[in-house]
Structure 1
Amino acid sequence: MDSFITIIIIPVIAVALDSVFGDPKSLPHPVRFIGKLLELYEGSARRVRIPLRAAGWVAVFLFAVSAWGAVAYLTAIPYLGVVIGVYFAYAGLALGCLMKDARTVARLLDYGSMAEARRELAMLVSRDTGTLDEAGLRRTLAETVSENLNDGFVAPLFYLSLFGPGGMWAYKTVSTMDSMWGYRTERYRDLGRGAAKTDDLLAWIPARITARIMLFAGRRLGLDHAAAKANYKGDALKMESPNAGWPMAAAAWLAGGQMGGPTVYFGKIKDKPLLGPTGQDWDKGKIRTLIRLCGATGNWAAWMLIPSLGLVRWIF
């Protein structure tokens, strides 16, 4: 299973399948299974009234280690394990689905279908989209696409290339936990703390890699690389999240649109730091540039990470 050829071939096939088919919605998806288990765990933790912060940290360790162990065991099965490994690797990547969803929302906005665009975008973000105008919808789309480029593709690919499908799904488990529990609301503030902190730690290196590859891809596409390189780090550090601002700031400067500002979460307005060139709204052309940039960044990430990290994994 851990031959050099397999270390390279499994990620390559997974990236190709993700690019062509996107998310395998018609097949059993590990994220849905993990989500169900987390719901059962949360219900049990609340019923027995154990300290939720402790329960959250236990969940991080228990589910991440279990995911790694289960996937590692299945992928070690002779012959069949390679096929299982390809499926788990493919299911853990989300660039194809992200690009498809982004193009769908962008197309609806271009056609003036605001209500449909709000509904489609609401499935991609945790913020409220019901009151957003066209400019707000475009800005929200730009923010979520650039942020999820790391969370949904580069970071999973990083752990897949370095540790195999088991390591990838340990990361994906923590990421899923963070997406379900990592909110600073009364309900999840304690339970989700462990997942949020662990996800921040695991995404720290991939987020910065994403931004740097995005700068490289932007330069290849003829975008304003100089302005992005000069400003993206300062903007990234404005963000409350230690990781989200890196790909967002790089994308904002390269595509030429401002991100941040007043944003509604769970009925409350939150003023997010401003990223990118001041006063530049997202229009049709800038959204197209962003989608092209994120697609190119994903492709370059695959070309760079799979051989380099695969070599590290093979050596050690």
Structure 2
Amino acid sequence: MLWLTIPLLAAALDLWLKDPPNWPHPVRLVGWLLDRLERLARFSPLPPRLAGLLCVLGLALGVGLAIQLIASLPILGWLSALYFSFAGLALGGLLQEGRRVARLLHEQDIEAARAALSGLVSRDVDQLDENGIRRALAETISENLNDAFTAPFFYLVCLGPAGLWAYKTVSTMDSMWGYKTPRWRELGWAAARTDDLLAFLPARLTALALTIAARLLGHPAVRLPELRHAAGQTESPNAGWPMAAAALTLRAGMGGPTRYFGQAKVKPWLGPEGQTWTDQKLNDLFRLTLLAGLGVCVGLVLMALFMMLAFSVL
């Protein structure tokens, strides 16, 4: 029961403190390790996909084991577990940065909005107009509700801080290696596929939380067949679910032409045609995202509590 307080406290700290800029963050260490692993993998005699798979498994298990050992220390173990749990969640920071971009757009400071957006997305932002910035912001907020909060919180509740950081390691590898470019297509294949597997259930939980939160806020209901059809159009097996839920709920489109690393790409259109994102719809999305995140938090903790009580009775 004591350990079940950690996810709730971690979520509260995330919404309160966000990501303090001067604090050390474990994900930076993971990124540093990935840079070294890339050099080893590229000089390895193994096929790139196999080398990439071994990097994924080795680093994720190694980070998870290290967190488990630290969290098991006497006296400091619980505080360490709380810190690593808090550091692995990013809903507060996501909403903070999203609102900053929206505020800059409202003030008509397009260049500053592009610069702020570039810290949230991997696409090229230098040619985005006002509507393009809003659409890109809506996409990243809805998609990252899963990547930044639901999925890590899911593994925190199920497997503790070690499980959260094993997942975060894979997710970080996917964000650094999981591109379909000549440099990463083979070496990053395992990172992308492992992340797809681990995020499969959380992504659908995120979409469910968004649709329930939307009903609580008075938005129209989204039918499951419509949501499934829209989500199935995206290249990723997971990203389309929260994106489609947000687009269909708030009646604003996502997708269309964009650019990544200088290359043009046309993403499938989600939501109603011709409906753009406005200041009001972005504000609605921020409220929807916060409520859905809180719903995920309470729902998963209650589920874990119910299962603990059920097993204790048995």
Question: Does the TM-score normalized on the shorter chain lie above 0.5?
Answer: yes
Matches for 1:104-253 after TM superposition, within 5 Å = 104-225=100-221, 227=222, 229=224, 231-253=226-248
Q: 1:230 Cα deviation (Å)?
A: 5.3
Q: 1:228 Cα deviation (Å)?
A: 5.3
Deviations 1:115-145, CA, capped at 9 Å, x for gaps: 0000110111110000000000000000000
Determine if contact 1:252/1:275 at 8 Å carries over to the other structure: yes
Matches for 1:1-316 after TM superposition, within 5 Å = 4-6=1-3, 8-48=4-44, 50-225=46-221, 227=222, 229=224, 231-312=226-307, 315=311
User: After the TM superposition, which of the residue ranges 241-250 and 269-278 deviates more from structure 2?
Assistant: 269-278
Structure 1 regions of 5+ residues with no counterpart? none
Counterpart residue identity of residue 125, structure 1: V
User: After the TM superposition, which of the residue ranges 21-30 and 48-57 deviates more from structure 2?
Assistant: 48-57
Q: 1:243 Cα deviation (Å)?
A: 0.2
1:58 and 1:310, CA in 2 relative to 1: closer, same or farther beyond 3 A? farther
Q: 1:19 Cα deviation (Å)?
A: 0.5
Q: 1:254 Cα deviation (Å)?
A: 1.2
TM-score, length-scaled by structure 2: 0.96
Q: 1:23 Cα deviation (Å)?
A: 1.5
Counterpart residue identity of residue 259, structure 1: M
Task: Tell me how far apart the structure 1 counterparts of residues 22 and 302 of structure 2 sit (CA, whole Å).
Answer: 30
Task: Tell me how far apart the structure 2 counterparts of residues 276 and 233 of structure 1 sit (CA, whole Å).
Answer: 12
Counterpart residue identity of residue 89, structure 1: S
The DSSP-based 3-state class of the residue aligned with 1:5 is coil
Q: Percent identity?
A: 49
Determine if contact 1:232/1:276 at 8 Å carries over to the other structure: no
Task: Tell me how far apart the structure 2 counterparts of residues 265 and 257 of structure 1 sit (CA, whole Å).
Answer: 22
Counterpart residue identity of residue 179, structure 2: Y
1:36 and 1:259, CA in 2 relative to 1: closer, same or farther beyond 3 A? same
Task: Tell me how far apart the structure 1 counterparts of residues 94 and 308 of structure 2 sit (CA, whole Å).
Answer: 28
Determine if contact 2:44/2:51 at 8 Å carries over to the other structure: no
Task: Tell me how far apart the structure 2 counterparts of residues 310 and 36 of structure 1 sit (CA, whole Å).
Answer: 37
TM-score, length-scaled by structure 1: 0.95
Q: 1:240 Cα deviation (Å)?
A: 1.0
Deviations 1:39-88, CA, capped at 9 Å, x for gaps: 01102222456432221100111011111111111111122100000000
Task: Tell me how far apart the structure 2 counterparts of residues 309 and 116 of structure 1 sit (CA, whole Å).
Answer: 43
The DSSP-based 3-state class of the residue aligned with 1:272 is strand
Q: 1:310 Cα deviation (Å)?
A: 4.8
Structure 2 regions of 5+ residues with no counterpart? none
Q: 1:232 Cα deviation (Å)?
A: 1.5
Determine if contact 1:127/1:265 at 8 Å carries over to the other structure: yes
Determine if contact 1:128/1:267 at 8 Å carries over to the other structure: yes
The DSSP-based 3-state class of the residue aligned with 2:143 is helix
Task: Tell me how far apart the structure 2 counterparts of residues 34 and 313 of structure 1 sit (CA, whole Å).
Answer: 32
The DSSP-based 3-state class of the residue aligned with 2:259 is strand
Deviations 1:130-178, CA, capped at 9 Å, x for gaps: 0000000000000000000000100000000011000011000000000
Task: Tell me how far apart the structure 2 counterparts of residues 213 and 287 of structure 1 sit (CA, whole Å).
Answer: 18
Task: Tell me how far apart the structure 2 counterparts of residues 67 and 313 of structure 1 sit (CA, whole Å).
Answer: 27
Determine if contact 1:236/1:246 at 8 Å carries over to the other structure: yes
Determine if contact 1:256/1:280 at 8 Å carries over to the other structure: yes
Q: 1:313 Cα deviation (Å)?
A: 6.2
Determine if contact 1:162/1:312 at 8 Å carries over to the other structure: no
User: After the TM superposition, which of the residue ranges 45-54 and 35-44 deviates more from structure 2?
Assistant: 45-54
The DSSP-based 3-state class of the residue aligned with 2:2 is helix
